[in-house]
Amino acid sequence: MAWKIFGRTINKVGVIGSGNIGPDIALYFSKVLHGHRVPVVVVDIAEVALKSGEARVKGKVGRGVKTGAFKKDEADSLMANISWTTEYSQLKGADLVIEAATEDKTIKGKIFSELEKICSEKAIFASNSSHLEPESIFEEAKNKKRCLVVHYFFPAERSIIVEIVPGKDTSSEIADFLMKFYEEIGKAPIKVKSRYGYAIDPIFEGVFLASALLVEKGMGTVKQVDAMVQRALGLGVGPFTAMNLTGGNPITHHGLSEMNSKINSWFHSPKILESQVTSGKPWDTPGRGEEVKYNDNTFKTVSNILRGAYFGLVCEILDSGIASIADLEMGVENALVMNPPFQMMNKIGIDKALELVEAYAKEWPEFIVPKVLVEQAKSGKPWDIPLALREDKDEVALITIRRPKTLNALNSTVISQLNKIFTEIKKDNKIKGAVLTGFGVKAFVAGADINELARLKTPEAGEALALRGQETLNLIENLGKPVICAMNGLAFGGGNEMAMACTARIAKKGLKVLAGQPEPKLGIIPGYGGSQRLPRIVGLSNAWPILRTGNPISSEEALKIGLIQEEVEGDVKEAGITFAKKLISGEAKVPPIKREPIEIPKSLPDVDIGHLSRKTDEILKESVLEGAKMTLKEGLKHEAKTFGKCLRTKDMRIGMENFMKFGPKRNAEFSHA
């Protein structure tokens, strides 16, 4: 069986190398492809490596069964879908091959030379190199158009970031396909221009180098510096611990040495790393749960030094032009599990960030102070970190909300950026319509940012927050140009409210969970128009149980009651663009939302709200029923005011605290007050 996707057909996927990362890449591919019956073939010349890789995958899948991540039959299917072989001939018919062998240009060249004899001209060849430029890896390739780097991060089956690095001869069609393909299979790809080390590794290895230099300077032991750096930069694990986990000493030693000539002379392999590579021993790092003691003043000094290095490293990448702020911010936060750098700089102030970088460069003169940071400090403005991205497709603007870590949840920054984007679209005579979508395949928008909601203290603050959000949604609704919401996944709370502000909505077909207003489960009511637009779009009788229970509906049910106009198979974004063009040309029409008061049925469906707050339910019913008697404009203002009323209840605090502590799976114990 084959998977036809974005104009290509995937019959088989190959992974070459069963060492540190190849088996994890194969595991992820099989997880997403076994349902399509697309086999994954792992090739390695060493039987022992294949057996080790297979055992590792079995162990991970087995643990997944125990934790409930996989059902037993799913795990069996996943494992059966991967074959392990020493025979390159088994890659015949593969449409995508990922090489994950030793970081050696000669070895990689021989592998791809062999693949050219076996695979068709249509097959895509990718190297999971962590450093080498694609031009170097594929120097001898006969067809360079199909060749590029796809760089995974540890652990490859869990880390969502992949760097897509085209070479100067790589076909743009293939690079664009892989960007869409990896997003479709649940990754977060970032496109990076070709340069040694790409965008993320010089930051990872640079932070390690800065940490090693502190040890050499006597600022602390390896264990102490590891713990201090982890705390200072919000790392998931310290830099020395990361080296132990990934077996990264040899490749980092080589990478830092090469960066010395290919990036700048500050990069070099420190003496303590050279010694560690020679000895083959792991670093002496903190054990699980071990408390590492260090002086507070020392920590403050180390923290400032490391932040200076960190900010300088990130801005050097930005200066080089190989990656954007948006991609760097997302890539570093998710691939390296670190505090997002540009947010950190904005928080302490750009002047302070520059001061830290300049102080670092004074201590280590070969370290370069990036021009882009100097210019940003001169501007007196914080970094603009795009979370909503615009891309024009002829006369249609495609806007994508991209916050994969939070399933694209709305916060004040996203709302503000959307307001700016849609204001520009309204004024742009070249743009006749727009498509609004979310990044990835799980969610259009999973709701409003709970952290922001939890910080609200007064009814007035609640009302103000609702009105600010409504301002942007009203802009979308009254743009004067059709806006299609391409619901690529679930739309909860503010996400569904934003979708309803659009001219029309389409969704991926077969979504068991598509849309809902789960606010009552948090002890609040909708604030961005849910209690007003939903009854006007689907009818009050249909909206009544959705609003009061907080339970979601499927894409099939959404189509049935008129919440969406179409269920789409295939690329929902492209379908959205097509739909927008039909509305622009007049080929298709969508009835406008009712703006006048709507009729309240004599009887509404009985609704069992179960454990939910009766106090919140009273406020919700007031918002819905009183708002129905008003115009939409008046009803939205009324909803904002009633949303503010939730701040007077005990149940809002109970609901918020329960969610912050336990997430959505545990019901809050409401007091009904």
The catalytic residues are 497, 519
DSSP H/E element including 191: strand 188-191
Per-residue pLDDT at 133: 98
Closest CA to 147 of 137, 156, 157: 137
| Average pLDDT for the chain | 96
Q: What is the DSSP code (8-state) at residue 401?
A: E
CA 311 to chain centre: 22
Beta strands in 512-628 (DSSP E): 515-516, 566-568
Residue 515 Cα distances to 370, 507, 537, 593, angstroms: 45, 10, 14, 18
Q: How confident is the model at residue 451 (pLDDT cuts 50, 70, 90)?
A: confident
Per-residue pLDDT at 130: 95
Evaluate if residue 289 carries a pLDDT over 90. Answer: no
62-76, 87-101, 321-335: lowest mean pLDDT where? 62-76
pLDDT per position as a tens digit, 604-660: 999 999 999 999 999 999 999 999 999 999 999 999 999 999 999 999 999 999 999
3-state secondary structure of 194: coil
Amino acid (one-letter) located at 381:
K
**Could you give the strand order of the β-sheet that contains 443-445, starting from the edge strand earlier in sequence?**
443-445, 490-492, 515-516
pLDDT per position as a tens digit, 233-284: 999 999 999 999 988 999 999 999 999 999 999 999 999 999 999 999 999 9
Q: Tokens 């795009």 appear where?
A: 386
Which residues make Cβ contacts (< 8 Å) with residue 634, sequence separation at least 6?
627
Closest CA to 596 of 636, 633, 543, 545: 633
CA 115 to chain centre: 33
Evaluate if residue 1 carries a pLDDT over 80. Answer: no
Q: How confident is the model at residue 178 (pLDDT cuts 50, 70, 90)?
A: very high
Evaluate if residue 314 carries a pLDDT over 80. Answer: yes
Closest CA to 53 of 173, 124, 132, 156: 156
Output the pTM of the full model: 0.95
Region label for 41, one of left (φ > 0), alpha (ψ between -120 and 50) or beta (otherwise): beta
Rounded percentage of the chain residues whose pLDDT exceeds 90: 97
Q: Tokens 């050097």 appear where?
A: 316
69-73, 91-95, 197-201, 310-314: lowest mean pLDDT where? 69-73
3-state secondary structure of 86: coil
Per-residue pLDDT at 45: 95
Amino acid (one-letter) located at 195:
R
Kind of pairing, strands 147-152 and 161-166? Answer: antiparallel
Q: What is the DSSP code (8-state) at residue 230?
A: H
Q: What is the DSSP code (8-state) at residue 596?
A: S
3-state secondary structure of 556: helix
Q: Find out whether 149 and 129 touch, Cβ atoms under 8 Å.
A: yes
If you count them, how many residues does the chain have? 673
Closest CA to 505 of 524, 531, 533: 533
Evaluate if residue 665 carries a pLDDT over 90. Answer: no
Q: Find out whether 215 and 272 touch, Cβ atoms under 8 Å.
A: yes
Distance from C-alpha of 408 to C-alpha of 179, rounded to nearest angstrom? 18
Closest CA to 509 of 568, 564, 559: 568
Q: How confident is the model at residue 449 (pLDDT cuts 50, 70, 90)?
A: confident
Rounded percentage of the chain residues whose pLDDT exceeds 70: 100
Residue 316, both tokens: 């050097």
3-state secondary structure of 8: strand
**Cα angle value 55/61/64 (rounded, 5°):** 145
Residue 337 Cα distances to 161, 166, 180, 236, 329, angstroms: 11, 25, 24, 5, 11
Q: Tokens 């939890």 appear where?
A: 454
Please name each of the domains of the chain with its CATH number: 3-191 (3.40.50.720), 201-379 (1.10.1040.50), 388-665 (3.90.226.10)
SS percent in the chain: helix, strand, coil, step 5 = 50, 10, 35
